[in-house]
Amino acid sequence: MLTKHNENLLFHTFDVTLKPHIEDLLSLGKSAGADLIEVFLEKSDNISLLAEQDDISNVSPSFGIGAGIRVFLGKRDGFVSTNDLSKAGLLFALNQALGMLGLDIGSQNSETFDGLTDLKDFGMNKFNWLDNSPDLEESTLKLLTATKSLANKNKNLQVRKASYSRNWQEVLVAASDGVFARDIRLHQTVGINVIAQQDKNRSTSSRRYGSSGNPNDLRNWDIEKSAFDLNESAQKMLNAGYVEAGQMPVVLANKFGGVIFHEACGHLLETTQLERGTSPFHNSINKQIAHSCVSAVDEGFSNHAFGSLSMDDEGMEPQNTLLIENGILKKFLSDRAGSLRTGHPRTGSGRRQNFSFAAASRMRNTYIKQGNFTPEELIKSVDNGLYCKSMGGGSVGPTGQFNFSVEEGYLIKNGKLSKPVKGATLIGEAKEILPRISMCANDLDLAAGFCGSVSGSVNVTVGQPHIKVDSITVGGR
């Protein structure tokens, strides 16, 4: 049990030496009457940089260490976080979490704890990731090179920005069901955006790139290609006319085009939504919810993808979760609490921003699988419609209603791309749009992004091949 000798021991080193001390905590929680206790320990080392025009305007380093303790009793849970990793601090947090459920450490219960399993150490070969990542000087130089390259492309780029963030995290998860696992994570992302102006015309364009588990990602970034693509998009949209509003067929490009599926459908397939009763698909397992050409997955395996992970934040290894197969709903994404409350099995999807959040069911790499058509065949099948090459921001309602702006769009006339248009917004509802995706191309590609929900902001990957939506409302002028 906890003794005065080890009461002030700090949990700064996340390894197997912590096992007996964590077992003491878990045993106390069980004896107080809890069904399950989970301890999440985290250390982080993060930095973000912003370059505006030809100067670095912001440098934000941050370091963190802390723990989140979650206690379950029946289908209820209590969660407390703390950055006091002494024995006394963790004991106090545990007692607070127990108190939320009407339990107390002083109680004596017949519940027993059998101990933790051997440590699963997914971070064993990742110890040098942080040291091998770019330092502040190298990161700064890379961003300034990017904004200078943008300036060299065109003088009417009135605003040039480039941002970089590096997030390093070491975590250890232990639970009274025996889970005992450790991991090290590294995520890097670069964003660039511009505003072009000529006379009274303005256009904006942006791109984001990101990876996991790759210390050399920023070093390998092809600045010239990114600057060329971004400038080309901004210039094409600079003098574009406004799109006319109406109902029409739309072809959505691959990569970040998948943000609509992520936002409007993916969230509805998380047990977090099932618990709230807001998912229109709650009774749709093994039922047709999409066109037969649509199959979609959520997984954590794709090499270096921004949403990939070796284990989730509940210590479970990721799965390749088939969400939709040939239009039929097959599975929901579930974490520990979601499984307890909805009955859907865990999928390695319990994720959180950091120790101050309880884990929840969250997406990882989520995308529509590729089909057998070429992108050209999709465009050729449309007489009058819209091609969305790049998507902007948007909003989504609790049951899947969405509207997303089109950053770079072109009219389709008689099966061919026509003039560029701006001001387009895609408006719809997931349960109505999924059956209208009638063609999927063979060019699946992924894009990095961040997703905010009940357990904070987490890194994710969105994606799809080119897809054709037979009919959707396009807002415009």
In a domain, residue 181? The reply is no
Among 467, 30, 19, 475, CA closest to 250? 467
Q: Where are the beta strands (DSSP E) in 15-89?
A: 36-52, 55-73, 76-82
Domain-located, residue 410: yes
DSSP letter for 393, please: E
Least confident of 100-114, 160-174, 295-309, 373-387: 100-114
Confidence band, pLDDT 50/70/90 cuts, at residue 83:
very high
On the 0-12 / 13-18 / 19+ scale of CB atoms within 10 A, 454 is middle
Tokens 């490009």, located at residue: 253
- Considering only the C-alpha atoms of the chain, give the largest distance between any 2 of them, rounded to a whole number of Å: 80
Does any domain span residue 350?
Answer: yes
User: Is it the case that residue 3 has pLDDT exceeding 50?
Assistant: no
Q: Is residue 370 part of a domain?
A: yes
- % of residues, the chain, pLDDT over 70: 97
pLDDT tens per residue across span 311-369: 999 999 998 999 999 999 999 999 999 999 999 999 999 999 999 999 999 999 999 99
Is residue 134, in this structure, part of any structural domain at all?
Answer: no
Work out how many domains the chain is built from and give that number.
1
Is 208 a member of any domain?
A: no
**pLDDT at position 265 over 50:** yes
Q: Residue 321 falls within a domain, yes or no?
A: yes
Task: Give the residue numbers spanning the domain of 301.
Answer: 246-475
Assigned domain for 113 exists:
no
pTM of the model: 0.94
* 206-218: pLDDT as tens digits: 999 999 999 999 9
